[in-house]
Structure 1
């Protein structure tokens, strides 16, 4: 997003918080951002598309910050996950996301309402993916149900604590919800109780491009393998630098090319395989499996 367009997104976000989405006119946005009507429509076909740009910009920043917390950490560390949830909810509070969503829904714009619903399912999908990282393999069939419960518990307990003027911190709420889910998971898995099939979750998600796929499953696999390399080799070891460069090359090839150069990726992968300290790890096996799906 260029700086001028980003400026309009920022200024419109300010107005939506101050006046509400429905009460903010395009002329208000033009006045507040200092651009012409022609420039506005060059950037955004409608006010609804501008709302989507605001929502997407906030979500992208949250995702970047959440992923940063994983660098050098174990994917199965529950404490890292709760930090990611805290970061997400703090961003929602700071950016008045609940207010924006409620305002947008009452606008009765079908396309915008669908966008909001699908965005909620993206969060559910992320929670489900993280639960797969955190909990044992044999609990996998029950994790979508638990992700749904977790995603519902968080906002409801948070809103109830505010309504009752109870001094419950966000961290306490998150830890409590996670403890509840852990207990529920043990119970339903022991009894074999399952409502939803994880295989159908993708039907709820918006159409995603290639980079969306990369930014989810493959990014976690890359972070996990990066950690392995950093553990095996010291920071000043030339091999560490070389293997990390290979990971970076594959990452950029996937991200920056609609048709990645498979022969170059396979060559980089072959170089990684030559190191038994990398090749024989479960992280490399998982990384290679995900990568093969993409090329």
Structure 2
């Protein structure tokens, strides 16, 4: 990372924890980092953008550490999984994340972009945990993976707080994680509460491996062919086939697709495919961004 950018991020993180996000003017960041206003705006469009850069940098550390732990090991290794979960908690402690988030308490309602970003990071952590639960405990856990991820995540956080409250701080986070995972090891005999489709709009693009967004969008629509026809909605079928035809060409007409995407999503509201419609719209917006950056 560029040295100046790193200086700004480190200065901002220190000030946000010390003074609070809303109470920290950009000028204070400039003085602490010893950079000019022009240098700041070379890297960040706003203070909110700078805060998100802090969180992205921390997230990159988490991903790197988790990949290091998994290198050369089986995906089903529970001990590796426990250490990977623990990475998040150790990283939060290292970067004083609790204090950093507390700095947002007095931020006004205008920082919707930041709130959306924080929500996305949280949901991506749940998605990651659900996928890893399937790796470790087998495909029979797939239907209940999101239930189990939320239960595990909540158990770890609440247990950690409880042990701090009763001054049992000698118990490691890894022990708490093993305790949480034991709660989900038994076979689930009840129907899943949280459906996988609920989380589709929040899946990060990086999980799609080498596929382009256009290819992923086309494959998602193709997989829905039969289910769309079963809804007996002629307009919806027309929208569906129009989008697929556009995605078959190298350069689809995004302007025409945009109006159809919104109609397509609207037609899927209050059906069993509503979450799929939201996911398809999310992918399309990512396709637009991808085309803009070319």
Q: Please say if 1:70 is aligned against 2:70.
A: yes
Partner of 1:142 in structure 2? 144
Structure 1 portions without partners, runs of 5+: 216-258, 260-295
Q: Calculate the TM-score normalised by the size of structure 1.
A: 0.66
Paired with 1:27 and 1:112, the residues of 2 have a C-alpha distance of: 20
Partner of 1:101 in structure 2? 101
Partner of 2:183 in structure 1? 180
Q: State the superposition RMSD in angstroms.
A: 1.9
Of residues 153, 166, 170 in structure 1, which corresponds to 2:155?
153
User: Which secondary structure does the structure 2 equivalent of 1:45 belong to?
Assistant: coil
Partner of 1:120 in structure 2? 122
Q: Deviations over 1:113-165 (max 9, x none)?
A: 11111110011011011111111212210111100111111112112211222
Query: How far is 1:175 from its partner?
Result: 1.4
Contact 2:66 2:87 in 1 (8 A): yes
User: Which secondary structure does the structure 2 equivalent of 1:72 belong to?
Assistant: coil
Structure 2 portions without partners, runs of 5+: 211-249, 251-294
Paired with 1:134 and 1:81, the residues of 2 have a C-alpha distance of: 8
Q: Please say if 1:214 is aligned against 2:209.
A: yes
Q: Please say if 1:195 is aligned against 2:189.
A: no
User: Which secondary structure does the structure 1 equivalent of 2:64 belong to?
Assistant: helix
Contact 1:62 1:87 in 2 (8 A): yes
Q: Please say if 1:12 is aligned against 2:7.
A: no
Paired with 1:212 and 1:123, the residues of 2 have a C-alpha distance of: 12
Q: Calculate the TM-score normalised by the size of structure 2.
A: 0.66
Query: Moved runs in structure 1, 4+ residues, more than 4 A?
Result: none
Partner of 2:85 in structure 1? 85
User: Which secondary structure does the structure 2 equivalent of 1:35 belong to?
Assistant: coil
Contact 1:104 1:112 in 2 (8 A): no
Q: Which has the higher helix share?
A: 1
Paired with 1:144 and 1:61, the residues of 2 have a C-alpha distance of: 24
User: Which secondary structure does the structure 1 equivalent of 2:184 belong to?
Assistant: helix
